[in-house]
A and B are shown apart, each in its own frame.
Chain A
Amino acid sequence: MGWGRPLLALLIAGLLLPLVPLLAWAVSGQWRYPGLVPQRLSGRGVRILTDPRSHVLSGVFTSTLISVSVAALACAIGLPAGRAIGVYRFRGRRLVQFLLLAPVIVPGLAVTLGIQVFFIHYGLAASTLGVVLVQLLPTVPYAATVLGAAFANLDLDYERQARALGSGPVRTLVFVTIPLLRPALILAGLFCFLISWNEYVLTLLVGAGQVQTLPLLLFAAIGSSDTTAAAALGVLVVLPPLLLIGLAGRLLAGRSGAAIGLGRL
């Protein structure tokens, strides 16, 4: 007792403090050694973000489209997969569980190099769809694991009860099972969104530089040694996940999802 609050404050400070210089860089016009704060402030960073030539706005759109699609698809795949590993006891269940997790254990780069040939063959390379598909690789394992745990805790008698009340299998899924799994779905969706949002290597390989997501733009800006542009982009990349985590915490607070801990942040 008594240590909880200072520790939490320390933790939050540790997470948020690195953002302070980032913010400072983003609005600085001139910041030379040994100044503690920028000598001159400037709106250049913000202007770069909104300039059509920088492709940042289209990058935001591409990133959002890809990450939302990946989160939705990963949850759609993770739902039946999670049910299989969470509910059914079958021969080879451990193996299936391992295979589901394999893409996380095996470096994504190795897997992607292996399957990129097929992406090119099927015309999926350098397309947004291709990037979405390849990003399912690192996300589906998380969705399946989170939903598998949720299914293991789910009382399937709810589904039997719904059937006995005249609800068919599809309606039972929509009106009973999915609402019961809501906290886990929010969490799985959030994880997948975050993984996808920050994905760089897979996007670069399969997107072949044609699919410009925010991480790709960010790396380009860093490479160009324009610190203000890189910092402004960095802030833009960091903000949506922070907002989403806050929103998810709010959605989960006071529900069974609070047990997951996220609701208390």
Chain B
Amino acid sequence: MRASAASVELAGISKRFGDTVAVADLSLRLPAGSFTALLGPSGCGKSTTLAMLAGLLAPEAGDIALGGASLLGVAAERRPVSLVFQKPLLFPHLSVAQNVGFGLRMRGLTRRDIAPRVQAMLERVQLVGLGARRVGELSGGQEQRVALARALVLAPRLLLLDEPFSQLDPELRAEMRALVRALHDEATTTTLFVTHDRAEAVEVADDIVLMLDGRLAGHGRPELFYCAPPTLEAARFFGVTNEIVGSVCSGCFRDRSGLAVRCNLADGPAVLVVRPEALRISGTESPDSLPGRVTAARFAGTHLALEVATASGALGVHVPVDSPVQIGGHLHVRVPAEASTAFMTKQPS
């Protein structure tokens, strides 16, 4: 009998270490069977969150529920949750097969019940025939495959992965990501994948949870973070380089040089963020454009990366390679309303 994937609910959980707040009032809901990346720079509290889900740390406040039932007070070993660490942490005194079967043995299964499950799991992680090996004889990628197999053989309702591939080289990482994705899709589990690598998060996950300084900074599909970032910090983390300072007045963002872009934000000082590839250049003036002068143009393979000096500061603009631009030339940078996002800023003092 296999357990089914479970939804995960974090309700206002907090954790402090001494004076440092690791996780602050985090609320989150992951649907059953979802594959979510928990993204954030190191030290943002993502590993702490994972440890609390696994039961290795207890939150100071808030509740954690799996499939609707609270996990608080349930010891780590009794949670239907598996955790794969950054390091493989294979038990050196056990063989590959014994490592994979460790959790089943702890559940009290007999040798005869364990062997076929381990065998099937080794097949799924493409390690057939390596069961009898000592773990010291494995390569880095193989070690992490064993660690994955050891976690998945328990058919966890929630699978937690704590930067599992950050110690592997990039090619192997892509391969392992694909494997994890495939394993998730054929198993019935909810997966939470911690990473600090935004490209990795976008590639592997259905949804991204962005954590910054212990707080939730956005939760949604990867596209959301590019097209409509939920917060200014999220936009910055996802590589928005263009920030135009201005203010919003009755549904229209204006900067000091007369740029006007529609937006639905309350009146007040604001900052408009827009990705370099969303900006357009044109020879003619329009209300949603800024006049500027090209100060630099760099060929970047798939596009030309321009730097345009405007009254609102330098803007990075990506244009097709065959665009007729010259360094020193004057043009208008159009800021499309649908590709830009305005955020309120504090009143300057």
In the complex, what residues of B have CB within 8 A of residue A162's CB? 91, 102, 106
Tell whether A168 pairs with B77 under 8 Å between CB atoms, given A160-B56, A161-B83, A162-B102.
yes
- Least CB distance from B273 to A in Å reads 39
A163 touches B56 (CB 8 A): yes
In the complex, what residues of A have CB within 8 A of residue B81's CB? 164
A165 touches B93 (CB 8 A): no
A166 touches B93 (CB 8 A): no
Across the interface, B154 reaches (CB within 8 A) one of A155, A165, A168, A171, namely A165
In the complex, what residues of B have CB within 8 A of residue A161's CB? 83, 85, 89
Binds B, one of A84-92, A104-112, A133-141, A176-184: A176-184
- Whether a CB of chain B sits under 8 angstroms from the CB of A167 is yes
In the complex, what residues of A have CB within 8 A of residue B82's CB? 164-165
A163 touches B77 (CB 8 A): yes
In the complex, what residues of A have CB within 8 A of residue B85's CB? 157, 160-161
Across the interface, A155 reaches (CB within 8 A) one of B51, B89, B93, B102, namely B89
Interface centre among B81, B89, B107, by most chain A C-beta atoms within 10 angstroms, is B89
In angstroms, Cα B239 to Cα A101, docked, is 57
B93 touches A163 (CB 8 A): no
- Whether a CB of chain B sits under 8 angstroms from the CB of A219 is no
Contact code string B68-107 (vs A, CB < 8 Å = 1, else 0): 0000000111100111010101011100000000110111
Interface of B is mostly: mixed
In angstroms, Cα B56 to Cα A167, docked, is 12
- Whether a CB of chain A sits under 8 angstroms from the CB of B294 is no
B102 touches A165 (CB 8 A): yes
Interface centre among A155, A162, A163, by most chain B C-beta atoms within 10 angstroms, is A163
- Whether a CB of chain A sits under 8 angstroms from the CB of B219 is no
B54 touches A164 (CB 8 A): yes
A180 touches B106 (CB 8 A): no
Interface centre among B56, B76, B78, by most chain A C-beta atoms within 10 angstroms, is B76
Interface centre among A160, A166, A179, A182, by most chain B C-beta atoms within 10 angstroms, is A166
- Whether a CB of chain B sits under 8 angstroms from the CB of A158 is yes
In the complex, what residues of A have CB within 8 A of residue B318's CB? none
In angstroms, Cα B89 to Cα A171, docked, is 17
In angstroms, Cα B56 to Cα A165, docked, is 11
- Whether a CB of chain A sits under 8 angstroms from the CB of B232 is no
Across the interface, B91 reaches (CB within 8 A) one of A158, A164, A168, A171, namely A158
In angstroms, Cα B56 to Cα A158, docked, is 12
In the complex, what residues of B have CB within 8 A of residue A157's CB? 85, 87, 89
Across the interface, B93 reaches (CB within 8 A) one of A168, A171, A182, namely A182
Across the interface, A166 reaches (CB within 8 A) one of B51, B87, B107, namely B107
In the complex, what residues of B have CB within 8 A of residue A171's CB? 106
Which B-chain residue is minimally distant from A179 (CB atoms)? B93
Q: Which of B26-69 contact A (CB under 8 A)?
A: 51, 54-56
Tell whether A180 pairs with B93 under 8 Å between CB atoms, given A165-B150, A166-B107, A168-B75.
yes
Which B-chain residue is minimally distant from A171 (CB atoms)? B106
In the complex, what residues of B have CB within 8 A of residue A166's CB? 77-78, 103, 106-107, 154
The number of chain A residues with a CB under 8 A from chain B is 18
B151 touches A165 (CB 8 A): yes
Size bracket, chain B contacts: 20 to 34
In the complex, what residues of A have CB within 8 A of residue B103's CB? 165-167
In the complex, what residues of B have CB within 8 A of residue A168's CB? 75, 77, 106
Which B-chain residue is minimally distant from A172 (CB atoms)? B77
B89 touches A167 (CB 8 A): no
Which A-chain residue is minimally distant from B102 (CB atoms)? A165
In angstroms, Cα B84 to Cα A164, docked, is 9
In angstroms, Cα B75 to Cα A43, docked, is 66
B106 touches A158 (CB 8 A): no
Q: Which of A134-159 contact B (CB under 8 A)?
A: 155, 157-158
In the complex, what residues of A have CB within 8 A of residue B55's CB? 163-164
In angstroms, Cα B81 to Cα A82, docked, is 31
In angstroms, Cα B83 to Cα A155, docked, is 16
Which A-chain residue is minimally distant from B89 (CB atoms)? A161
In angstroms, Cα B102 to Cα A160, docked, is 14
In the complex, what residues of A have CB within 8 A of residue B56's CB? 160, 163-164
Which B-chain residue is minimally distant from A163 (CB atoms)? B76
In angstroms, Cα B83 to Cα A162, docked, is 10
In angstroms, Cα B87 to Cα A162, docked, is 13
- Least CB distance from B114 to A in Å reads 13
In the complex, what residues of B have CB within 8 A of residue A158's CB? 89, 91
In angstroms, Cα B57 to Cα A209, docked, is 55
In the complex, what residues of B have CB within 8 A of residue A175's CB? 102, 105-106
Using a CB–CB distance below 8 Å, which chain B residues touch chain A?
51, 54-56, 75-78, 81-83, 85, 87, 89, 91-93, 102-103, 105-107, 150-151, 154
Using a CB–CB distance below 8 Å, which chain A residues touch chain B?
155, 157-158, 160-168, 171, 175-176, 179-180, 182
19 extra A-B contacts, CB within 8 A, seeds A162-B106, A163-B56, A165-B103: A155-B89, A160-B51, A161-B83, A161-B89, A163-B76, A164-B55, A164-B77, A164-B81, A164-B82, A164-B83, A165-B106, A165-B154, A166-B106, A167-B77, A167-B102, A167-B103, A168-B75, A168-B77, A179-B91
- Cβ-closest 9 pairs across A and B: A164-B83, A165-B103, A179-B93, A163-B76, A167-B106, A161-B89, A166-B106, A166-B77, A166-B103
**27 examples of A-B residue contacts, CB within 8 angstroms:** A155-B89, A157-B89, A160-B56, A160-B76, A160-B85, A162-B91, A162-B102, A163-B55, A163-B77, A164-B55, A164-B76, A164-B77, A164-B82, A165-B102, A165-B103, A165-B106, A166-B107, A167-B77, A167-B102, A167-B103, A167-B106, A168-B75, A168-B77, A171-B106, A175-B102, A180-B93, A182-B93
